């Protein structure tokens, strides 16, 4: 346990030293990243130990905070979440040293907040007291706010940071209510003494709202597509890969505290998962900005996780251990998997941005030949996030599917109906995600360069490539070693699904067998083809233009045109705006077509509400007079009123 605290300490000291190094840019960067890597490595050791032995580590420090106590514990569930958090943080830190290299200013402040964010996340999943939890939670939120606004000179970045700040504090408000209610019913905020009392359902809904805002459940996701693209890419990777998972952690932790769940919690989670998953991938499909596209995919993957957790809850509620294990195993494993491939994809997108300066997919193209390492890693991530075998995305989706099919084939209607919803929405999500990532990878890396941006690109340095390679290897390894991975995280699954063995997860061995057969066959065929072609004429020519003799790269299909049939088909949900300037007359002038797909939830739900608030507050504007002594009077009057109310 002390290793964990030492790790946190090293993180914070590294951050402070980096900030103190001030104007000395290179040293500042090195110190910060070193602190992050060493700190994460140290804190990782106890987490791995807990998952290996299954024995929880616990410690309690004196803390003069009313209602609070400094109780920290690493049990299997915490350890499972710590693993991706710390591993991805270390890798992203290494990447960050390369990414921030041509920095406009010393990176000291950045590293201070980065390390604070990592420490906050680690403490969030280890805290065992409501107040400590909320403090760690707010540390995480504030640190990430400053990271998002790293490029604060840009207007758009400031706006994104503002949206993030407001959204995440709305979520925290629900959490505050949740913990207050819990304290009222149990008299303490220590997790092991929490009693849900009579209104467990209300508490669950509050947890879904509060933690769902951080996790990005639709329609609470509005901050995600703004904040993630605004941040530097390694921070995006960290936020999208693991920070939003602290929301999932909070949800499952509360689930363990609220006692046996009723069936409708499962229905609720499945409903949320289906909406977030399907709409998330739809919005992603309509985006032109690579990082924004990836941010929407986080919403989709959170939806998949919610589908898995929902099935697990249904399993517990209906007394089916198999379903509970399959659902929770799929959901939890997808947490780790998403950390791996989404981290990888954001790092890849960062490398592209670093090399070309463009995030607009329609400006890129042909990077496969210029950035082979980045392209290869991105391809692995793209295939993994589309849930394709033999990579890790398929393993977790397979578990969720299997649970759903088990429920459909053998359980009552109350469980079978949501299970059908899970099957249908997962299938639709899978197909749309494949469409979206064939677009992202195909348009950015394949074909020919569409603009000058992409022409002089090259692979970034080793500090940026190595983390991507590690993550790509992790994707492949989890994909091929499914059964062992599930057994390794068994204690975390048991914490949610109840004690017992892990039925059916051994079937992943068969999946690995199939994947192995596939790879062997592919190698065989590749060899066959090279033997066939040996000694024959293998020519190179221009792409067949169907008779047109002078094709240019500008004639290639663009990302927008690629996605257009699907976005048109589903325009009911997307509300894509088109600005068309048609050519007209005998000598047509310039013409153009622009499309943009703003977030429907933001436009239709939040903007009207906030405009309403703005209107109400504008009516109260007379209170703001700009004179300090009047403000002091307000405060004094409020205090007096509170005192009278209390004494009354």
Partner 1 sequence: MEAPRLAQPVLAILFAPLLLGVVNRVKAWVGGRRGPPVLQAYWDLAKLLRKGAVYSRSTTWIFRAGPIVGVCAALVATALLPVGDTPALMGFPGDLILLAYVFGLARFFTVLAALDTGSSFEGMGASREVQFSALAEPALLLALAAVARNTGSTSLTGMMQGISVHAWTTAGPALALVSAALLLVFLAENARIPVDDPATHLELTMIHEVMVLDHGGPDFAFVLYGAALKLWVLGALLVGIAVPVRSGDPWIDAAGFAAGMLALAVVVGAVESSMARLKLLRVPQLLAGAAALSALALILVLR
The distance of closest approach from Cβ of residue 296 to partner 1 in the complex, given in angstroms and rounded to an integer, is 16
x/- map, 390-429, partner 1, by CB under 8 A:
----x--xx--xx-xxx-xxx--x--xx--x--xx-xxx-
Is residue 564 near partner 1 by the rule CB under 8 A? Answer: yes
Cα–Cα distances in angstroms (integers) from residue 46 to residues 62, 71, 252, 294, 547, in the given order: 22, 16, 21, 32, 65
Degrees to nearest 5, angle at CA 588 with 584 and 591: 80
Distance between CA atoms of 324 and 312, rounded to whole angstroms?
4
Number of alpha carbons in the 13 Å side-chain half-sphere of residue 35: 28
Cα–Cα distances in angstroms (integers) from residue 503 to residues 261, 321, 403, 420, 507, in the given order: 21, 8, 11, 21, 9
Asked whether 322 and 315 are in contact (CB, 8 A), the reply is yes
Structural tokens at position 225: 């597509």
Q: Quick one: 7 or 447, whose CB is closer to partner 1?
A: 447
Is residue 529 near partner 1 by the rule CB under 8 A? Answer: yes
Give which of 592, 559, 95 is closest to 290, Cα–Cα.
Answer: 559
Distance between CA atoms of 123 and 86, rounded to whole angstroms?
11
State the DSSP code for 364: -
Backbone angles phi, psi at 594, to 5 degrees: -120, 140
**What three-state secondary structure class fits 391?**
coil
Candidates 37-45, 484-492, 547-555, 635-643 — which segment interacts with partner 1 by CB under 8 A?
A: 547-555
Q: Quick one: 413 or 582, whose CB is closer to partner 1?
A: 413
Site for partner 1 in 129-158 (CB under 8 A): none
The distance of closest approach from Cβ of residue 320 to partner 1 in the complex, given in angstroms and rounded to an integer, is 14
Distance between CA atoms of 375 and 106, rounded to whole angstroms?
30
Candidates 42-50, 173-181, 459-467, 531-539 — which segment interacts with partner 1 by CB under 8 A?
A: 531-539
Which member of 61, 65, 522, 625 binds partner 1 (CB under 8 A)?
Answer: 522
Q: Quick one: 9 or 431, whose CB is closer to partner 1?
A: 431
Which member of 555, 593, 630, 641 binds partner 1 (CB under 8 A)?
Answer: 555
Candidates 59-67, 234-242, 265-273, 553-561 — which segment interacts with partner 1 by CB under 8 A?
A: 553-561
Q: Quick one: 149 or 368, whose CB is closer to partner 1?
A: 368
x/- map, 565-604, partner 1, by CB under 8 A:
xx--x-----------------------------------
Is residue 513 near partner 1 by the rule CB under 8 A? Answer: yes
Total chain residues near partner 1 (CB under 8 A): 82
Question: Can you tell me which residue has the tokens 């977790």?
Answer: 396
Distance between CA atoms of 130 and 548, rounded to whole angstroms?
68
Give the helix ranges, DSSP H, for 446-481: 462-480
The distance of closest approach from Cβ of residue 82 to partner 1 in the complex, given in angstroms and rounded to an integer, is 30
Distance between CA atoms of 141 and 250, rounded to whole angstroms?
14
Distance between CA atoms of 412 and 76, rounded to whole angstroms?
32
Q: Quick one: 54 or 553, whose CB is closer to partner 1?
A: 553
Site for partner 1 in 427-446 (CB under 8 A): 427-428, 430-432, 434-435, 437-439, 441-443, 446
Give which of 233, 476, 494, 497 is closest to 345, Cα–Cα.
Answer: 233
Site for partner 1 in 250-279 (CB under 8 A): none
Candidates 144-152, 236-244, 245-253, 532-540 — which segment interacts with partner 1 by CB under 8 A?
A: 532-540
- Cα torsion through 25, 27, 33, 39, rounded to 10: -140
Q: Quick one: 261 or 403, whose CB is closer to partner 1?
A: 403
The distance of closest approach from Cβ of residue 146 to partner 1 in the complex, given in angstroms and rounded to an integer, is 39
Is residue 632 near partner 1 by the rule CB under 8 A? Answer: no
Which member of 543, 582, 592, 621 binds partner 1 (CB under 8 A)?
Answer: 543
The distance of closest approach from Cβ of residue 360 to partner 1 in the complex, given in angstroms and rounded to an integer, is 17
Give Rg (Cα) of the chain: 26
Q: Quick one: 435 or 492, whose CB is closer to partner 1?
A: 435
Candidates 61-69, 77-85, 177-185, 535-543 — which segment interacts with partner 1 by CB under 8 A?
A: 535-543
The distance of closest approach from Cβ of residue 136 to partner 1 in the complex, given in angstroms and rounded to an integer, is 38
Asked whether 260 and 312 are in contact (CB, 8 A), the reply is no
Degrees to nearest 5, angle at CA 561 with 559 and 566: 95
Cα–Cα distances in angstroms (integers) from residue 611 to residues 157, 163, 467, 599, 602, in the given order: 21, 14, 44, 17, 12
Asked whether 108 and 21 are in contact (CB, 8 A), the reply is yes
Which member of 62, 102, 104, 539 binds partner 1 (CB under 8 A)?
Answer: 539
Distance between CA atoms of 311 and 416, rounded to whole angstroms?
10
Q: Quick one: 328 or 398, whose CB is closer to partner 1?
A: 398
Which member of 61, 65, 180, 521 binds partner 1 (CB under 8 A)?
Answer: 521
The distance of closest approach from Cβ of residue 409 to partner 1 in the complex, given in angstroms and rounded to an integer, is 4
Distance between CA atoms of 313 and 422, rounded to whole angstroms?
13
Distance between CA atoms of 303 and 318, rounded to whole angstroms?
22
Candidates 116-124, 139-147, 194-202, 366-374 — which segment interacts with partner 1 by CB under 8 A?
A: 366-374
Q: Where are the beta strands (DSSP E) in 143-280?
A: none
The distance of closest approach from Cβ of residue 447 to partner 1 in the complex, given in angstroms and rounded to an integer, is 3
Give which of 604, 587, 575, 608 is closest to 282, Cα–Cα.
Answer: 575
Is residue 105 near partner 1 by the rule CB under 8 A? Answer: no
The distance of closest approach from Cβ of residue 274 to partner 1 in the complex, given in angstroms and rounded to an integer, is 12
The distance of closest approach from Cβ of residue 425 to partner 1 in the complex, given in angstroms and rounded to an integer, is 8
The distance of closest approach from Cβ of residue 367 to partner 1 in the complex, given in angstroms and rounded to an integer, is 10
The distance of closest approach from Cβ of residue 247 to partner 1 in the complex, given in angstroms and rounded to an integer, is 28
Which member of 545, 583, 608, 612 binds partner 1 (CB under 8 A)?
Answer: 545
The distance of closest approach from Cβ of residue 21 to partner 1 in the complex, given in angstroms and rounded to an integer, is 43
């Amino acid at each position: 346990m002390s290793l964990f605290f030492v790790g946190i300490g090293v993180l914070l000291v590294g951050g402070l030293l980096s900030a103190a190094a001030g104007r000395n840019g290179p040293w500042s960067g090195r110190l910060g990243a070193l602190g992050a890597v060493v700190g994460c490595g140290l804190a990782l050791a106890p987490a791995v130990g807990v998952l290996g032995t299954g024995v929880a580590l616990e410690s309690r420090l004196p803390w003069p905070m009313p209602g609070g106590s400094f109780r920290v514990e690493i049990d299997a569930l915490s350890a499972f979440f710590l693993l991706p958090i710390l591993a991805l943080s270390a890798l992203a830190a290494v990447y960050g040293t390369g990414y921030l290299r041509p920095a406009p200013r010393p990176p000291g402040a950045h590293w201070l907040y980065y390390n604070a964010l990592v420490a906050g996340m680690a403490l969030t999943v280890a805290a065992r007291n409501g107040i400590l939890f909320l403090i760690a939670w707010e540390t995480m939120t504030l640190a990430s706010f400053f990271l998002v606004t790293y490029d604060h000179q840009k207007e758009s970045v400031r706006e994104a940071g503002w949206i993030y700040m407001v959204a995440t504090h709305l979520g925290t408000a629900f959490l505050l209510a949740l913990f207050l209610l819990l304290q009222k019913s149990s008299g303490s905020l220590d997790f092991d003494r929490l009693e849900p009392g009579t209104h467990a359902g209300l508490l669950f809904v509050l947890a879904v709202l509060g933690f769902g805002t951080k996790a990005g459940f639709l329609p609470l996701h509005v901050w995600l597509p703004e904040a993630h693209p605004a941040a530097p890419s390694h921070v995006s990777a960290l936020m999208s890969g693991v920070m939003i998972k602290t929301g999932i952690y909070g949800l499952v932790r509360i689930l363990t505290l609220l006692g046996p769940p009723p069936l409708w919690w499962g229905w609720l989670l499945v409903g949320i998962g289906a909406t977030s998953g399907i709409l998330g991938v739809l919005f992603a499909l309509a985006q032109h900005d690579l990082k924004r596209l990836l941010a929407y995919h986080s919403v989709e993957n959170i939806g998949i996780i919610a589908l898995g957790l929902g099935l697990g809850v249904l399993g517990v509620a209906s007394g089916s251990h198999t379903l509970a294990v399959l659902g929770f195993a799929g959901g939890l494993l997808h947490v780790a998997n998403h950390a791996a491939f989404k981290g990888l994809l954001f790092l890849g997108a960062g490398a592209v941005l670093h090399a070309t300066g463009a995030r607009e997919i329609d400006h890129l193209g042909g990077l496969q030949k210029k950035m082979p390492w980045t392209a290869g890693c991105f391809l692995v991530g793209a295939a993994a996030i589309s849930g394709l075998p033999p990579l890790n995305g398929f393993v977790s989706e397979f578990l969720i599917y299997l649970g759903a099919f088990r429920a459909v084939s053998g359980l009552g209607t109350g469980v079978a109906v949501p299970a059908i919803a899970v099957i249908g929405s997962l299938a639709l999500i899978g197909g749309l995600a494949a469409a979206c990532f064939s677009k992202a990878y195909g348009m950015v890396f394949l074909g020919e360069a569409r603009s000058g941006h992409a022409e002089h690109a090259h692979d970034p340095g080793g500090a940026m490539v190595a983390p991507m390679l590690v993550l790509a290897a992790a994707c492949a390894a989890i994909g091929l070693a499914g059964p062992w991975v599930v057994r390794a995280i068994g204690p975390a699954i048991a914490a949610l699904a109840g004690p017992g063995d892990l039925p059916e997860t051994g079937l992943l061995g068969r999946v690995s067998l199939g994947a192995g057969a596939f790879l062997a066959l592919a190698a065989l065929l590749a060899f066959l083809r090279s033997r066939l072609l040996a000694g024959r004429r293998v020519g190179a020519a221009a792409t067949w233009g169907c008779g047109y003799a002078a094709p240019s790269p500008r004639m290639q299909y663009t990302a927008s045109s690629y996605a257009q049939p699907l976005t048109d088909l589903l325009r009911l949900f997307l509300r894509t705006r088109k600005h068309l300037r048609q050519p007209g007359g005998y000598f047509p002038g310039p013409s153009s077509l622009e499309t943009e797909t703003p977030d429907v939830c933001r436009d239709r739900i939040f903007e009207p509400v906030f405009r309403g608030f703005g209107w109400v507050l504008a009516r109260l504007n007379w209170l703001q007079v700009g004179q300090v002594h009047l403000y002091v009077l307000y405060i004094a009057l409020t205090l007096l009123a509170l005192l009278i109310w209390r004494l009354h």
